[in-house]
Structure 1
Amino acid sequence: MSRKFRRSYRFAVRTSLYITLFLCLLMSILYMVEIHFDFTGLLIFAILCYFFSFFIIQYRVERFIYRRIKKIYDNVSLLDSTTLSPSQVTTDMSSLTREVEKFAQDKKLEIETLKVREAYRKEFMGNVSHELKTPLFTVQGYILTLLDGAHKDKAVRKKYLQRANKGVERLIYIVRDLDMITKLETGDLHLHYETFNIVELIQASFDLLEMKAAKKNITLTFDMDYEEPVWVWADRERIQQVLTNLIVNSIKYGKKGGTTEISIENLIKNKVIVRVTDNGEGIEKENIPRLFERFYRVDKSGSRKEGGSGLGLSIVKHILEAHGEKIYVESVFGVGSEFSFTMEKSKKVPETATLPEIS
């Protein structure tokens, strides 16, 4: 406090000194020229004193405030000192106020973002721990049982080793998917673009998952017969992974005896949109914004029974974003869901193009 008072005293002393010196000098000049004051002379003297006092105080105040504010700008490195100039500084300190308000708003947004990221990090670490813990404990349990003497029984030994192997496969599956997401996020996973027929690729995915769908009596079908190929430009292997994950998801949450239908529509001149529609359980509205988070599950108990790493939709989103494409979700709880994504049309058709066979 004493330091602040000394500064203000020093400012007041210097300002008073300047005014006093001016008045003394003016009086000396008037005395030397032996000017006798009448009313007009006194009025002129008062006006001169007033204007000089006004300008010297205004100049001193602005200079005093500017120096104090400049020090604040220098100390707070995040404030933009280029926006500060002596001509802008007034007694209301509007320049500093604007910068401080902007600084405070930016810091508030930064803090809120960090809080969201921290909550996500905690949830993600908890999910990773849970996903890895189950197969690890399973494998450990079977191995300890074998070590305790169960390995002497050939039938038990084979059964337990097979179950332990399934646990290891699940661990590999989770780690592989996490590695893929990390590479997609960092740009380390390079895409190999080529022209291919998306209708043919969908049919190949249907053939691959036919037996899985048959277990729940779910029909995999197109919305219509595509007699002409639909040529697109993308990484064929990654797009097949997208289709496989979406179809598996529709089977996993589909109703017995239901249908998974895929349609391909022209969106704009150089884009098509692929829709994967099912008449399964559907998704509640509050769950939709979080569907593409790692390990996020709508129905945790049901998904555990069905298996999977919990990373399928997250991988789908990252693959499509790597292609510069979008994925959309529409769902009515109890009615069904539709996942759709865009793809770029190929500008040229392969010379060896053949029509797909639609079963």
Structure 2
Amino acid sequence: MPSLAKLVYFQPAARTPVKITEQSGVDLLNYQVRIILDSAWDGWDIVKPDGSDIFFLDEQGNPIYYWIEVFDYANRSAVLWVKIPLLPANDTKTIYMHFGGINPYKAYRDPENVFDLFDDFLGTALDTNKWNSNTGGGATLSVQNGLLMIHTSTTTYSGAWIWSKKLFDIPFIVEAKAIRHNAYSGGERGTGIMLVYSDWDGTSFDPYYYYPTRVILATIHRYTYYGRYNMIYDFVSGNHAYGSYSDNLGKWCLIRAIILSDRQRAQFDFNLDGSIEDDLEIANTPAVSSFYVGVGAADYRTDSDAQIDWIRVRKYASVEPLVEIQPSVYIRKDMDLM
């Protein structure tokens, strides 16, 4: 019998190679890349039901910051984000999604290090290191159960808003998951994303809805008399666009605002599945190169509630990188036995 035997075994862990190809022709630095897993992914029978075993490594074996936005094990659907330090123009990189075993990089599941700004409103108070705020007309702001809670009052006009202490240079994308439960039938400003011009004086607010006076709003809007149900509106230039999707109350919506130097775009996904119910764009050239970002709600003569689940800011590319999920492989390890 030999004095040294080698046992080859397969541990339950596996990894999925993920190919990421830059398509815009520009080097992307610290870029946030979305990875979608559907029922075709071959790892569902191995991964933990909560996805807590997932982590990412680059081609050199270095850990990568990531965030799991959605992990629906029952329906075999997930949305994950990774931050790639450098994706050269027209180049392809492969990263590796590990799962099924021990996760030694749980600290890298950190949206604060993935996105340029992120808040999912944990705790019991607004993070005043990140945010400024203003309320009026009896409206209130609070943080409860992982949500930013906004209540507008039966006062004729009311509003509550927060905006970042950090400026963001054009171009960029800001997204928020929001819900509006009820609203007055006409004239209200809605619930959603606010972009504050960097040249705002810091003290002037709209006398009716209490947001800073120099803003672009991309909100779940409702004005039934005119059939306007969502909007993007620059209250400095007056340029605006309204949507027509009317089933916009009592439903969570992913609101996306794409901010470019010559146009701004607002997209509303009320099914949270990537479909866009309203896609609005204005040709607009702000006289600034940066904005503060925020969220909030305002209404006219309505006792109503809105919530924000999270807000994030990410980088923009004219064409998003192509993401290709490759077949998974088991990770083989050798164990030497004396």
TM-score range relative to shorter protein: under 0.3
TM-score normalised to structure 2 length: 0.24
| Higher relative strand content | 2
TM-score, scaled to structure 1: 0.23
Which structure's CA Rg is the greater one? Answer: 1
